[in-house]
Amino acid sequence: MNLYPMYTKTISGLNRIANAFEQAKKENRPALMPYHTLGYPDQETSLDVICAIADAGADLIELGVPFSDPLADGPSIQSSTQVALEQGMSVARCMEMVKELRTRGIKQPLIMMGYMNPILSYGCKRYVSDAVAAEADGLIVPDLPPEEAVCLEPSCKSYEMALIYMLSPASSPERIKQIAQRTTGFLYLVSLAGVTGARKELAVGLSDFTARAKAAAHTPTAVGFGISTPQQVRAVGEMADGVIVGSALTDAVRKGSDPVKAAGDFVRWLRG
């Protein structure tokens, strides 16, 4: 049974994201948001992988826009972005791929994760307008602090597109309050001080950090970095509204003899 309403451009990105979190909440579970790099291991397989992720039960999907210096990412995602770049992936091609995913019937909210240098090179207003035209729902920009968001925030607001800020566990109470109030769509909680990458244990202090962030938030919260197993998904789901899994999925795609099947099986495993 398809749990997701027919995709329609008449619903704003902010509303689609809110609906996805609300649907998961009704089912008494966290919203699951897998991450995959656009163009990895190649453009066509990448599209098939993302479709498999959607079919396997993803509630939202984070799409990585390849960049040569992904400072927030660990070895697995760094490698995937480098492979994609070597095959000619660009911001413009990423926009085309998002549109193609909609053409293929993907209904879940699509969140584009990319860094500021490619966005500035492409043009901030053009980046947002093209993302909206491609039918993306939100943006994550890891190296964009709210103080420097004047180039993106007005355009995202005008299109009702989410601009999702990341919050680290080292943040002061004042910083937590500031970022929690500025984010739209959801608040991305970085589970640990470091880069992305699958880890055997959840970070010490994550429950306290999540509680402090939720107390300040006006949106759902989602935790990412270091999550790789169904047990960790369930544990994080007791703390936050959503769970983001990237490196472990990338590893499954890389190791699988059939990357598409590996991606779908991995997401079904997380959901199970």
Q: What is the 8-class DSSP label of residue 30?
A: P
User: H helices then E strands: how many in the chain?
Assistant: 12, 9
- Within a 10 A sphere around the Cβ of 171, how many other Cβ atoms? 19
Residue with tokens 């990423």: 94
The burial class, CB within 10 Å (0-12 / 13-18 / 19+), for 156 is buried
Active-site residue numbers? 62, 73
Residues in the chain: 272
Q: Give me the DSSP letters along 162-212.
A: EEEPEE-TT--HHHHHHHHHH--S-EEEE-SSS-----SSPPTTHHHHHHH
Q: Are 253 and 53 in contact (CB under 8 A)?
A: no
- CA separation for the pair 13, 137 (Å, rounded): 4
Q: Roughly how many angstroms between the first and final C-alpha of the chain, as a whole number?
A: 16
